[in-house]
Homo-oligomer: A and B are copies of this chain.
C-alpha cells in the first residue's frame, strides 16, 4: 500500500506542513494501527518533524541551516550543493507510529516537507506497514 501526493513550493527554501495530508491518507485508506513511512524521492529536499505552533521556529531552522552549510567552494556545476548537503543532514525518510487511526505525534509536532532548492513541484511518498 503506497501513496503519493504532490507539494508545490514557492521559494528557494521553505518548510511545508504536510501533517494533514498524511492524516487524510491514513483515514481514506482506513489504516488503524502500524507504521507510516514517509519518503521524499528528491535529492535536494527532505522531511523533518518540528514545532507546529510558532512559524518562527521553521524560519529559524532554515536560517540556522543556511548559516551552518557553506555556500561556495563546491565542484557540482548545478550550483545546488548546499541543498544536497541539507538533504542528507535532515534526511529523506521518517517513520511514525499509527494508533487507533491517528498519527502518534507529540503535542507540538508537525511533519514538514523541506525544500532546499525550489521553487518546484515535489512528490511525497507514503507507505504503511503493520
Residues of A within 8 A of B (CB): 2, 34-35, 37, 39-43, 48-51, 54, 56-57, 59-61, 63-65, 67-70, 73-78, 81-82, 84-85, 87-97, 99, 104-109, 123, 125, 127, 129-130
Counting chain B CB atoms within 10 Å of each CB, the highest count among A43, A75, A77 belongs to A43
Looking at A35, A57, A65, A123, the one whose CB has the most chain B CB atoms below 10 A away is A57
Given A34-B129, A127-B97; A84-B63 close (CB under 8 Å): no
Copies of this chain per assembly = 3
Instruction: Tell me whether A70 and B64 are in contact (CB under 8 A).
Output: yes
Q: How far is the CA of A103 from the CA of B54 in the complex (A)?
A: 37
Distance of A2 from chain B, by nearest CB (Å): 6
